[in-house]
Amino acid sequence: MPRPQKHPLRPLTAPERTTLEQVARSGGERADRVGRAKALLAVADGAPFTVAARTAGRRAGDGVAKLVARFNVAGLAALTDRPRGHPSLRYGSDQAARILREVRRAPERERDGTATWSLTTLQRALRQAPDGLPQVSTFTLRRILHDAGLSWQENRTWCETGTVLRKRKAGIVEVVDPATAAKRG
CA geometry: angle at 65 spanning 61 and 70, to 5°?
145
* Distant-in-sequence contacts of 114-117, Cβ < 8 A, 24+ apart: 115/157, 115/159, 115/165, 116/156, 116/157, 116/158, 116/159, 117/156, 117/157
Distance, in Å, from the CA atom of 140 to the CA atom of 134, rounded to the nearest integer, reads 13
Question: What is the arithmetic mean of pLDDT over 136-141?
Answer: 90
Q: What is the pTM of this model?
A: 0.49
CA proximity to 134, closest of 91, 104, 105: 91
**5: alpha, beta or left? (left if phi > 0; alpha if psi -120 to 50):** beta
Confidence of residue 21 (pLDDT cuts 50, 70, 90): very high
* Distant-in-sequence contacts of 91-96, Cβ < 8 A, 24+ apart: 91/133, 91/136, 91/140, 91/144, 95/133, 95/136, 96/144, 96/147, 96/148
pLDDT at 15: 95
Question: What is the arithmetic mean of pLDDT over 140-148?
Answer: 86
pLDDT at 152: 61
Mean pLDDT of the chain: 86
Is the separation of the CB atoms in 48 and 2 below 8 Å? yes
Most distant pair of Cα atoms in the chain: their distance: 88
DSSP 8-state class, residue 75: G
DSSP 8-state class, residue 98: H
pLDDT digits (tens, 9 = 90+) for 84-128: 777 766 788 899 999 989 988 888 888 888 888 888 899 999 999
pLDDT digits (tens, 9 = 90+) for 96-106: 999 989 988 88
